[in-house]
Amino acid sequence: MVCTTIDMIKDQKQSAREVLRSLVSSKDGCMYVFHDQIRWAFYVEKGKLVYASHSLESFERVERHLRGLSREVPTLNDKLRSQLRLMFDDLSPETAKYKVTSETLCTEYPAIRWLVGENYLTKIIAGKLIARIIQEVIETFLCLPSNDLSHTFYEHLLKETYCSLPIDRTLEVVEQRLQAWYSLGPTIYSPYQCPYLVSPTVATKRMSAETVQRLGLILRGFNFCQLGALLGKDALAIAKQLSPLIREGAISLKEPLIPFNQLPRTYDPTLKEGSKKNEQLLEADTKEEEGGDDDISQITSQQPVKTWKIVCIDDSESMLSIISSYLGNQDFQVTLIQDSMKALMKITSIRPDLILLDIGMPNVDGYQLCSLIRKSSILKDIPIVMVTGNKGLIDRARARLAGATDYLAKPFVQADLLRMIMRHLM
């Protein structure tokens, strides 16, 4: 079906909630909302939501929820999730058949269809995955401060759907969750904040030294949403469980990494509506948390604790120095290799969890070294991120054949590097 605009509202001003409520009586199709350079998409059939997305790291969102489902479906492992990004970030002829006919389609949806088509997901599990994604997207959408949102409606149907959520009931559930998020403010103001353990001494007043040590190794750069996927728990539940330690100063919160810092906050002190209810929620939460030591122990017992080993291979000493400075205080074990001729032997002995590999090196370039690494039975499944001075110069076909997992373009900042690492180590 050709994507055709059937209705465009330019002057009508609506809140985020009003926009979603309008879908109950709308035609089948997709509503796009643009706000602060973020595109929000809501697909509806017969007055019910069948998918939702926004344009910030949409693939990260799907990968993260697949990570959460991997406890239930073990085949959704790291290797498969990395394969999905390579396949659908730039659709190949083999996967193009999964693309719905629209240039503005959420690029992650064909990946979900592929998982169903290849029997990695049943339609029921796919429905569960999509329901979680819809809920997360709506949570952030309803936090938009603007009451003058304009939207564009397209007569654009998804080829296959696996989920159908009543809009009113979904709004009710999400608004209850947002009240709970609001009650954690002002300190916790976003599900994308990153908690770090900064005062083990304060934490030991609530739990054993062993639990504190494990907690410190878990809280090392993940945001609440990522922690939820990693530990198999709800992000809101984790935030509630950690909030006493945050208030007492044992845990420090860092701002959301780029680009998640562009998303609206769940706590806005200018919003007066429901403030009394939120204060009551906060009081109830505080009472529950007074004996919350067991909750923290449950968090730390969910995930095996390890120090991740990262190998960086680049002929540039200055680039290795930059990477080392970015990762040095993040509880990673970092090995820097400047000579690509000696890299394979060192990698084999280290057995890292992730490899950062520069493409343009003398003697043995990144493509060649990547191919050699993949021929090793003990290294073949390790994520390899190809680093290049210009993403446009990456030979994607050659990189796929060599076994690359992902790409990182120079120059990059610490947030870019950490986001890439967390993507593949979750």
Q: Tell me: the pLDDT tens digits for 116-147?
A: 999 999 999 999 999 999 999 999 999 998 77
- What is residue 146's predicted lDDT score, i.e. its pLDDT? 78
Dist. CA 314–CA 362, nearest whole Å: 10
CA-CA distance, 129 to 182, in Å (whole number)? 25
Three-state DSSP class for residue 283:
helix
**In terms of DSSP bridges, do strands 194-197 and 251-254 run parallel, antiparallel, or are they unpaired?**
antiparallel
Superfamily of domain 309-425: Response regulator (3.40.50.2300)
User: For position 411, what pLDDT does the model report?
Assistant: 85
Q: How many CB atoms lie within 10 A of CB 328?
A: 10
Q: What are the CA-CA distances from residue 112 to residues 162, 163, 366 (Å)?
A: 10, 12, 31
The more confident residue out of 259 and 269 is: 259
The pLDDT-based confidence of 311 (bands split at 50, 70, 90) is very high
309 neighbors 335 (Cβ within 8 angstroms): yes
Domain locations in the chain as residue ranges: 4-176, 184-301, 309-425
| Pairing, β 309-313 against β 333-337 | parallel
Beta pairing, strands 165-166 & 48-54? antiparallel
Q: If you ran DSSP here, which 8-state letter would residue 22 be given?
A: G
Share of the chain above pLDDT 70, in %: 82
Are 181 and 239 spatial neighbours (Cβ–Cβ below 8 Å)? Answer: yes
pTM: 0.80
